[in-house]
Amino acid sequence: MPPPIDPLHWRIGLVGYGEVGRILAEDLRARGIEQVTACDVKLGTAAEAPLVAHAARHGVGLVARHAALAAATDCIVSAVTASQAVPVAEACGPGIAAGTWFLDFNSASPGAKIRAAQAVNAAGGRYVEGAVMTSIPPYRIRVPLLLGGPDAAHLGPLLNALGFAARTGPEKLGVASATKMCRSVMIKGLEAMVIESFTAARAYGVEDAVIASLAETFPGIDWERQGSYFFQRVIQHGRRRAEEMREVSVTVREAGLDPWSASGTAERQAWVADLVDAGALGERGAPDADWRVHADAILARRRGQR
C-alpha cells in the first residue's frame, strides 16, 4: 500500500537516534506528525537511557529491529554513521512495503549510495539520497538538503511540506553524494588543519603571530572564534567525522585520485576522538572554551605520554 499523499499524515521512521535523529524527531513532532518511530543500535544496551528519556519526552516510539521499523512507516530517514549506510538499507529491506520512501541522510560515498539504493529498491521501496550541505544544529530540519536519484523530484515537495529545506539535484544516483563528499574535503580538512596548526603554534608560543598572519591573509575570518568552533565540533563529533572522511577518501579514489588530504583528515579527526575517549579532553570538551584550553589539554596529554 503506497504512503498517504499528504505527508503530514505519514508515519515517519528514523534509523539512528543520535544528535541528528533527535533533532528531526523534535521538529517533526512539532509539525504535528503523530507517529514518529526510531531505531538505534544503542537500544537494549547500557547506553540507551538518554535515548529512551528523549523519546518519552517527545512522544517518539522506539523499536529494536530495522525491519520492524520499516514495516510500520511510510517514510524512513536513515541518519547513521557512514559505515552503516549500506547495512542499514539492507536491514530495512525485509520490512519495506511497496512505495515506502527511504531518505538516506548519510555522508557516504557515491558507490555506497548506489548499493544502498539497490537494497531498498529491490524490496519495493523508493530510495532518495540526501546530501546534507552544512552543519545541522543551527538549521535543524531546515538544513540545506540536496536530493538525488530518479525519485528525488517526487519526494522533494513532500519533504518540504514536512518542514525540510530540500532542493532536487541530479537524477543520477551518487552525484548529490559526490557534491557533499568533495565539499567535506575542504570543510573537514580545514578543521583538521586548524587543530594541527593552532596546537603546534601553541606549543611553540607563536599562536598570536600565526593568527595575526592568517587575519591579514584572510581578513574576512575571525580566526579566534573559528578556531574555537572547529576544536569543539571535532571534539564533539570527531569519530563520526573520521568515518565520513574515510568515505570521502573512497569517493576521491573512485575519481582516480590518491586521497592524501582526505585520508590525513580522517586520521586527525580520529586522533582527537581517541583523546576524548581517553578522557584527555573531558567527555565532550568545554562547550564554550577558548581553543587554547583544548590545545593545552592536548599538549599536556602528549607530554604525559613521553
Let me know whether 23 and 165 are in one domain. yes
Residue 220 inside a domain? The answer is yes
Residue 151 and residue 169 in contact, taking contact as beta carbons nearer than 8 Å: no
- The structural domain count of the chain equals 2
Residue 2 inside a domain? The answer is no
Beta-sheet pairing, 144-148 with 101-104: unpaired
Residue 1 inside a domain? The answer is no
Let me know whether 11 and 109 are in one domain. yes
Residue 23 inside a domain? The answer is yes
Let me know whether 197 and 278 are in one domain. yes
What average pLDDT does this structure show over 254-278? 96
Average pLDDT, the chain: 94
User: In the structure, what pLDDT confidence band is assigned to residue 2 with cuts at 50, 70 and 90?
Assistant: confident
Let me know whether 121 and 181 are in one domain. no
pLDDT of 280: 86
Residue 57 inside a domain? The answer is yes
pLDDT tens profile 47-76: 999 999 999 999 999 999 999 999 999 999
pLDDT of 137: 87
Judge whether residue 4 has pLDDT over 90.
no
Residue 99 φ then ψ, to 5°: 90, -5
Residue 81 inside a domain? The answer is yes
Let me know whether 155 and 15 are in one domain. yes
Let me know whether 155 and 181 are in one domain. no
Cell of 77: 530517514
Let me know whether 216 and 161 are in one domain. no
Judge whether residue 41 has pLDDT over 60.
yes
Let me know whether 12 and 151 are in one domain. yes
Let me know whether 164 and 193 are in one domain. no
End-to-end Cα spacing for the chain: 63
What average pLDDT does this structure show over 117-133? 96
Give whole-number Cα distances, 93 to 80, 84, 198, in Å. Answer: 16, 14, 46
What does the alpha-carbon distance between residue 305 and residue 210 come to, in Å, rounded to a whole number?
27
Let me know whether 146 and 22 are in one domain. yes
In eight-state DSSP terms, residue 104 is E
Give the domain CATH number at 282.
1.10.1040.10
Output the 3-class SS for 143-212.
CEEEEECCCHHHHHHHHHHCCCEEEECCCCCCHHHHHHHHHHHHHHHHHHHHHHHHHHHHHHCCHHHHHH
Cell of 151: 525519485
Chosen domain end from 153, 172, 191: 172
Let me know whether 299 and 215 are in one domain. yes
Q: Among 152, 188, 187, 185, which residue's Cα sits nearest to residue 168?
A: 152
- In degrees, rounded to 5, the angle at the alpha carbon of residue 211 between the alpha carbons of residues 210 and 216 is 100
Characterize 170-197 residue by residue with b for buried, 16 or more Cβ atoms within 10 angstroms of its Cβ, and e for exposed.
beebbbbbbbbbeebbebbbebbebbee
pLDDT of 281: 83
pLDDT tens profile 132-187: 999 898 899 999 999 999 999 999 999 999 999 999 999 999 999 999 999 999 99
Residue 300 inside a domain? The answer is yes
Chosen domain end from 118, 149, 172: 172
Residues paired with residue 145 on neighbouring β-strands, in sequence order: 132, 166
Residue 278 inside a domain? The answer is yes
Chosen domain end from 139, 172, 205: 172
Give the domain CATH number at 123.
3.40.50.720
Range of the domain at 150: 7-172
Let me know whether 162 and 182 are in one domain. no
